[in-house]
Amino acid sequence: MSIQEHYRSRAKELLSAGTVKMVIGYGAGSTPDRRRPVFITSPDEADRLVLDTTCRTNLSGYLLREGLLSDQKQVAVFLTVDGIRSLNVLAAESQLDTSQVLVFGFGIEGDQARAIEGERAADFKSVIAAAKEQRKSQPADELQEKLEAMTPKERFSFWEGEFSRCIKCYACRQACPMCWCRRCVVDNNQPQWVNTSSHTLGNLEWNLLRAFHLAGRCVECGNCSRACPADIPLHLLNRRMADEVQASFDHYPGMDEAQEPVLASFRKDDPETFIL
Amino acid sequence: MSEVFEPKIVAFVCTYCTYAGADLAGTSRLKYPSNVRIVRLPCTGRISPMFILKALQKGADGVLVSGCHPGDCHFDHGNYHARRRWTVFNSLLQFAGVPEERVKFSWISAAEGIKFAELIRDITEDIRKIGPFEEYHTLIAETGSAAPL
């Protein structure tokens, strides 16, 4: 039985038994290689669920929809390792209770999607630990390496060029499962920290601030870059932040739901190489 | 006609150590350049990366962020939290291409008036050498709402 069939029948089973009130998964999109999120609430609809290598979006953010989990009922959701990590981060930040979430875990290897064993966020500890080790040995992104080799001036003008295309649509924020603030700092106008017009200065500040707010929380699912209509390589900023917290504080976000947020904790012997 | 470039530097300091250090520099009659504008805050833990961006947005050529040495914080651990934040934000600034001479971080205690005066001298000289933050100033001009410091 293919993984798609496996999860379809599991969804049917859970919905008809009333164990879960909803299954958040992937459905057919506007073209054959696109997928869109679907929210299944009855067993007959379960056949709309699709699972293959084009299912890239991290769906965990949908769990935070207003009131969805407030009735203490359970919801099942399709998640990759990244998705499970963001689930853990959200739980660590008291945004949801993982006991209300059933995970349909999957991974994409080469040209096929595979199921990952486990149902609860806590069941995936070893998979996440393996992902942490793997990230350490992962080769650097080509563009990132090129950037690191540039002079500050060249890097500044690279980002200036990229951010000049930003139209401040905030799709990156909407797509990010970690951007859960009810009121975002950019929506604040007294004081107004970041220019809201879409000129390059405001765009630079917005994107830097966004990357900073995700430091130590981003699971590098890539939702932001995929959502960006201007194709700005936002994941590079997040990647660099993830490199930094891993190297400086050995922090890999989303290990488990009790993990302390890296910027809300400290060690007395943290490195401080650049402080005069 | 070209005017002599005078760097504008904004210093975000904590009131218990670095501000007191700056005060000591003053009462000890130590000379340091008048290019620095000091913003006093309760603790380094209060210094947000947004302040740094805001200073640059208002036309600063350099920013100094300074507080109590680790272990000396009036609030016990505000500076430890600040240190993590700076580590991450500093790395982000480097990656975004803000030259490292432009944004400096330091620990200056209430007894280090001399260190304060010297640091301000060094930073001002460094920035005088590399000149105004032209790239950023161009972006500010584009917004049409330049608000000089």
* Helices assigned H by DSSP within A48-111: 81-92
Given 3.40.30, 1.10.3470, 3.40.50, 2.60.40, which CATH number is that of B9-142? 3.40.50
Q: Structural domain boundaries of chain A?
A: 3-136, 142-249
Q: How many whole angstroms separate alpha carbon B87 and alpha carbon A271? A: 8
Condensed to tens digits (0 to 9), the pLDDT of residues A45-91 reads 989 999 988 888 999 999 999 889 999 899 999 999 999 999 999 99
**What ipTM was reported for this prediction?**
0.87
Q: How many residue pairs from chains A and B have C-beta atoms closer than 8 A?
A: 123
Kindly calculate the radius of gyration of chain B based on its CA atoms and give it in whole angstroms. 15
Q: How many whole angstroms separate alpha carbon B8 and alpha carbon B37? A: 8
How far apart are the CA of A189 and the nearest CA of chain B, in angstroms? 14
B8 has a pLDDT exceeding 80: yes
Contact A152 B98 (CB under 8 A): yes
B103 has a pLDDT exceeding 90: yes
The answer to whether A49 and A74 are in contact (CB under 8 A) is no
Condensed to tens digits (0 to 9), the pLDDT of residues B19-45 reads 999 999 999 999 999 999 999 999 998
| Closest alpha carbon within chain B to A149 | B95
Would you call A108 exposed, middle or buried from its count of C-beta atoms within 10 A (0-12, 13-18, 19+)?
middle
| Closest alpha carbon within chain A to B145 | A195
Beta pairing class for B103-107 and A35-40: unpaired
Contact A199 B92 (CB under 8 A): no
pLDDT attached to residue B125: 92
Q: How many whole angstroms separate alpha carbon B149 and alpha carbon B140? A: 12
Q: Mark A16-48 as b/e (b = at least 16 C-beta within 10 Å).
A: eeeebbbbbbbeeeeeeeebebbbbeebebbee
Q: Structural domain boundaries of chain B?
A: 9-142
How far apart are the CA of B80 and the nearest CA of chain A, in angstroms? 6
Q: How many whole angstroms separate alpha carbon A25 and alpha carbon A47? A: 11
Residue A271: asked if its preceding bond is cis (omega within 30°), the reply is no
The beta-carbon neighbor of A262 closest among B84, B98, B143 is B84
All residues of chain B having their beta carbon less than 8 Å from the beta carbon of residue A156 are 96-98, 135
The region, left, alpha or beta by phi > 0 then psi within -120 to 50, assigned to residue A18 is: left
